[in-house]
């Protein structure tokens, strides 16, 4: 009788062989996966290849681009033209004239350089070229201080500081005492030069060296206006819970200055490097450029600082005397840092870079997008990492805030222009300026608040409730001025009878 062999699959030896083969295959797959993960981790940890050596004299961004090609590529793309409904912030919009778009502005800025030329901002790559071309510079004399926020000034300041007698050499790291002395001395020297002369000392718009240490790539602040301004803010009594390092410094050794590069956290620096330029400041010819943060960052605190400030000639601070009314009024610059400080994002620990330079993955690498621009142009990475709503819904929410702000801002401008027209008529009717002093103050307050919102690059989004408060006050001050003027006219008529 012939013995029948079991099927191949049922034979123990065959099964053992299959199990061994499966185990071997599994082991190989795990090893391959582990090798792949290790490779990607290695790639991710190596964010750059040092092709060239850089130091404190490396101004040209193209040199930095050899070591950091991805970040440099983003920096170059700030030249791309794009737009949002209200311009957005950072790197978008064509250079459209605000004076043409908004007929209130030539009246509000009458007698000042901004009535000659006032355009939408463009990308960072344009900031120096646009400043050199604006009629505000070509048709009105301006000081070299204007370069503070439009050019890469770190090295030119230090070079000018050395010429002015500051100690040390340019090779010393920026955080050294000598380098800081050079920086401040050069800031003073270049700021006093005529713009046409000072601009010959710079070659690039704000560049890598103005925000990064060339040796370690660590974030840093380099603009003397910010270095001095943030120390003044730290020494004020205004609570700044969104900047915890300042609160910590206040409890420690106050004999030394608050130093953002030493005291601030990296997350704070991711806003402070932007706050070097996106702020309110004075950069006119009467005194050295300064950030008016002695009393805090709110609109009325800055106003109070200005009102207490005396120019070297002893006169109270003002930007210009309004051509139609004669009031001494103020011009806001671009107070993004101040307005962000009043909003929920700052209070929640969200930095400027989180939204305007969100992280992007390129292969295994995670880097900050250096194409600085409005978050509305990049909602998926700028907003949806925190807010789990569809892109269209998020855009609609932002634009609803901006639409309401814009409508309210136009009503504030209406009120300011109405007050200006009434004051002009009163002067033409023979009411002397000496009788209009209190009403001039109301024009100053109303105009300042309206411009603070208009000049800020978010159309209210950075702090919607704060903006509504500011514009409400602006309308109130302007209407108070009109009522006071009506009362003055009535008293004048009564006196003549």
Instruction: Determine the pLDDT at residue 90.
Output: 47
The pLDDT of residue 5 is: 66
Cβ pair 128, 185 in contact under 8 A = no
- What distance in Å separates the CA atoms of residue 353 and residue 270, rounded to the nearest whole number? 6
Residue 299 has what pLDDT?
Answer: 98
Per-residue pLDDT of the chain (497 residues; tens, 9 = 90+): 455 666 766 777 777 778 888 888 878 887 777 766 666 565 555 556 788 999 999 999 999 999 999 999 999 999 887 778 887 444 555 568 899 989 999 999 999 999 999 988 888 889 999 999 999 999 999 999 999 999 999 999 999 999 999 999 999 999 999 999 999 999 999 999 999 999 999 999 999 999 999 999 999 999 999 999 999 999 999 999 999 999 999 999 999 999 999 999 999 999 999 999 999 999 989 999 999 999 999 999 999 999 999 999 999 999 999 999 999 999 999 999 999 999 999 999 999 999 999 999 888 788 999 999 999 999 999 999 999 999 999 999 999 999 999 999 999 999 999 999 999 999 999 999 999 999 999 999 999 999 999 999 999 999 999 999 999 999 999 999 999 999 999 888 777 76
Q: Which of 195, 197, 196, 204 is nearest to 154 (CA)?
A: 204
Decide the pairing of beta strands 320-321 and 359-362. Answer: unpaired
* Spatial contact of 136 and 117, defined as CB atoms under 8 Å apart: yes
State the pLDDT at residue 494.
76
Supply the pLDDT for residue 41.
Answer: 61
- Residue 166: is it exposed, middle or buried by C-beta count within 10 angstroms (0-12/13-18/19+)? buried
What is the maximum span of the chain, computed from C-alpha positions, in angstroms?
146
Angstrom CA distances, 402 to 85, 108, 271, 413, stand at 9, 22, 22, 16
Burial readout 324-341 (b: 16 or more C-beta within 10 A, e: otherwise) = bbbbbbbbbbbbbbbbbb
pTM: 0.89
CA-to-CA dists, residue 124 to 23, 93, 129, 199, 295, angstroms: 58, 12, 10, 17, 30
Pairing of strands 365-368, 320-321: unpaired
Measured CA to CA in angstroms, residue 58 lies from 55, 154, 182, 392, 437 at distances of: 6, 10, 17, 43, 53
């Amino acid at each position: 009788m012939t013995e029948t062999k079991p099927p191949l699959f049922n034979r123990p030896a065959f099964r053992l062989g299959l199990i061994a083969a499966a185990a071997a295959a599994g082991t190989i797959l795990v090893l391959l996966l582990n090798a792949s993960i290790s490779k990607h981790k290695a790639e991710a940890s190596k964010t750059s290849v040092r092709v060239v050596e850089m130091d404190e004299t490396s101004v040209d961004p193209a040199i930095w681009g050899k070591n950091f090609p991805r970040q440099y590529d983003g920096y170059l793309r700030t030249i791309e033209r794009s737009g949002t409904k209200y311009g957005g912030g950072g790197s978008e919009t064509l250079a459209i004239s605000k004076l043409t778009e908004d007929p209130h502005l030539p009246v509000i800025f009458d007698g000042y350089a901004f009535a000659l030329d006032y355009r939408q901002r463009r990308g960072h790559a344009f900031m120096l070229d646009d400043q050199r071309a604006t009629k505000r510079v070509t048709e009105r004399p301006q000081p070299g201080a204007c370069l503070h926020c439009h050019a890469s000034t770190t090295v030119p300041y230090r070079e000018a500081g050395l010429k002015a007698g500051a100690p040390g050499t340019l090779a010393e790291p920026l955080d050294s005492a000598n380098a800081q002395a050079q920086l401040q001395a050069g800031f003073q020297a270049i700021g006093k030069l005529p713009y046409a002369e000072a601009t010959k000392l710079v070659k690039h718009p704000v560049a890598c060296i103005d925000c990064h240490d060339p040796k370690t790539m660590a974030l840093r602040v380099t603009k003397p206006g910010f270095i001095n301004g943030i120390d003044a803010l730290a020494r004020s009594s205004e609570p700044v819970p969104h900047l915890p390092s300042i609160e910590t410094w206040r409890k420690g050794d106050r004999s030394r200055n608050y130093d953002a590069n030493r005291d601030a956290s990296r997350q704070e620096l991711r806003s402070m490097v932007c706050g070097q330029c996106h702020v309110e400041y004075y950069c006119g010819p009467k005194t050295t450029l300064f950030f008016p943060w002695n009393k805090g960052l709110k609109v009325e605190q800055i106003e109070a600082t200005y009102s207490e400030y005396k120019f070297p000639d002893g006169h109270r601070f003002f930007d210009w005397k309004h051509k139609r009314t004669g009031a001494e009024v103020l011009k806001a610059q671009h107070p993004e840092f101040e307005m962000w400080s009043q909003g929920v994002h700052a209070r929640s620990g969200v930095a400027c870079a989180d939204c305007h330079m969100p992280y992007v993955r390129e292969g295994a690498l995670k880097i900050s997008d250096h194409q600085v621009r409005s978050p509305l142009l990049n909602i998926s990475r700028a907003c949806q990492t925190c807010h789990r709503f569809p892109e269209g819904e998020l855009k609609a929410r932002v634009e609803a805030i901006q639409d309401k702000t814009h409508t309210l801002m136009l009503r504030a401008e209406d009120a300011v222009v109405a007050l200006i027209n009434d004051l002009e008529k009163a002067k033409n009717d023979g009411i002397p300026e000496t009788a209009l002093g209190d009403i001039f103050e109301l024009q100053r307050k109303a105009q300042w608040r309206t411009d603070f919102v208009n000049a800020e690059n978010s159309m209210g989004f950075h702090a919607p409730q704060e903006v509504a408060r500011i514009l409400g006050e602006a309308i109130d001050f302007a209407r108070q001025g009109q009522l006071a003027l009506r009362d003055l006219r009535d008293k004048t008529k009564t006196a003549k009878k």
